[in-house]
Amino acid sequence: MAPKRSLEDDADSSNPKAKKHRSGFKVGPDNLPDGTYRRKVIKIKKDLIHKAKVKKSYAKLKAREPITPTPIPTESIEPVQPASQELHPERQAMLDAPREPTPPPNQTPSFSQRPQQQRRSKKPGYFEKEQAFAAQKKAEAEARRLEFERREKEKKEKIEERERFRRAMAKARTGGKNGQRKLGKESKVLLDKVRRIVGA
C-alpha cells in the first residue's frame, strides 16, 4: 500500500509561485475532420489570438505614453458669413424674361403646340420567343379541346341514335294483338338503317 501524503507536501504543491500549466482556449469541437469546417474553426481561433495580441500591445503602449489632450486653437476659426440674398445674374435674367402664355388647364395643347418629345425606343422583348411559344401551345391545346368536344358530341349522338333504333326495333318486334310481328314498323326502321349506311 502506498503511504499517505503528508500535509506539508500539500502545502508545497499549493505554492502560489509555482507555475501552473494553462491549457489553451478551445473554439469548436476537437473531433472535427479535416475539411471546410475545421479550417473555418482554425481561422476563427487565429483571428481571436491576433485580436488579443493587438489589444495587449495597445494596452502596453497606452500605459507607456499618457494621453495628453491636444489644445484646439480657437484663434484660427473664422466666423462664417451668412449667405447673401442676391441672385445669380443668369437666374435673374431668366426671371425677368417675359413668360409665354399657358393654355387653360382644361384644354390640352394641340400637337403643333406640344413640345417635341423624344420618341421612346421599343423596349427589348426579353421573353418574346417564350411568349410566342406559349401562345402557340395555348392555341394547340384549344384546338385539341375543340376537337375532343366535337368527337364527344358525335359519339353521344351516335349512341343516342343506336338507342333509338334499338327501342324502335324492340317495339316493332313485339307481337301485335295476335302475337305476329309488326312488319310495317320494322321495315321502316330497317329502311332508315339502310339509307344511313348507303348515304355514309
Report the chain (200 residues): mean pLDDT per 10 consecutive residues.
Answer: 61 61 81 86 94 94 78 60 75 82 62 60 80 95 96 95 86 74 78 83
Q: Give the per-residue pLDDT at 10.
A: 56
C-alpha 60/C-alpha 63 separation (Å) is 5
Q: Give the per-residue pLDDT at 3.
A: 63
Q: Give the per-residue pLDDT at 6.
A: 62
C-alpha 186/C-alpha 84 separation (Å) is 117
Residue with cell 399657358: 102
Q: Are 25 and 46 in contact (CB under 8 A)?
A: no
Q: How many CB atoms are closer than 10 A to CB 15?
A: 8
Q: Give the per-residue pLDDT at 110.
A: 58
For 37, residues 6+ apart whose C-beta sits below 8 A from its C-beta are 28
